[in-house]
Structures are given as structure tokens and as C-alpha cells.
Amino acid sequence: MHTIRAATLSDADTLAHLWASTFRDAYHHLHAPEDIDAYCAVHYTHEEAEKLLSSDDHDCSIALFEDEPSGLLIIKWAPCPLDLDGASAELKQIYVSGSMYGTGLGEALFKHALETLANRDVAWMWLAVSDKNPRAKAFYEKTGFSYQGAGPHLHVGKDVLTSSILARRVGS
């Protein structure tokens, strides 16, 4: 059984480890190990985790399976760069350990995100997803997201990826 709890500043090491390990699980087949290592060394450090966990602009939750950290959810309280009819927030990350793929943990984290947004009276959830990540795109389409437009370029080491902005109504 998995549980989901709010992350606190004392979870900075856990978050940094989860970020790096789940990112590797999700992208090892798309990027060279040195590009993944370079990305993680900049973005998924203890210091970056402390910044995020200290920020009022983010909401972070950690999923546990049998008391072991196995996934994370990050919501960024930022409006969509494309026009949506109503208040919106970014689903920044749902990352799940590779060993948890297919267990329903991603869906549980997604439902937690919907509840968090509904409690803040947010009408839309949006995200930018790599166009080279069919697993994530399929998950988001299955959960009601639709294409809104081109997203930012994502940089992983020396790789530059295009992305798409997807959105869905929170109450849908």
C-alpha cells in the first residue's frame, strides 16, 4: 500500500534522491548517461530541494510504498503561458520509481494533485511534457489532458527537446 504526504524541509535529501532516481528511470532510454548526470547535478541537488521546499510557489508531496520513498508530485502555483479560461496551476512533476510503474502510484499522485488544486479553487491544471516521452504523454491523455500548444525547449545535458503544453479542467 502506498501513502502520500506533504514534503517538508527535512525531506530535502529524500527529494533530491527521488528526483534523480526517478528522472533516470524515466529517461535512461532517451539520453546518454553523462547528459542525465549533468542535468541531475544542476537541477536535483539538496540545495535545489531546499529552495523548492522553502518556496511558497510550490507544493511538494512524496509517495511512500511500504515506508520507502517511491514517487513525488510537484505543483507550481503559476498560470499557464497560454490562454485558459480561469485560474491555472502547473503540474510540474509526477515522477514514480521504475519499480512502481504499473502499480497505480502515478494515478494516485495525479488524484492527489487534483484534490490539492480543487482546494485552492484552481480551474485548470497544465503542464509541459517532452515530445519524446510517449509514456508520460499517454498517461496525461488518459487522465483528460489535451494539447494546447507548443511548449518550451527542454535541455538535458547537450540534448534539446521540444515539448507540448497540455491542460485539463480540474473538475473534469
Q: Which residues contact 163 (CB under 8 A, 6 or more apart)?
A: 128, 129, 130, 131, 150, 151, 152, 153, 154
pTM: 0.93
Residue boundaries of the structural domains of the chain: 2-124
pLDDT string in tens for the chain (172-residue length): 789 999 999 999 999 999 999 999 988 988 999 999 999 999 999 999 999 999 999 999 999 999 999 999 999 999 999 999 999 999 999 999 999 999 999 999 999 999 999 999 899 999 999 998 888 899 899 999 999 999 999 999 898 999 999 999 998 6
Second CATH level (architecture) for the domain 2-124: 3-Layer(aba) Sandwich (3.40)
Say which residues have a Cβ less than 8 Å from residue 68's Cβ, sequence separation at least 6: none
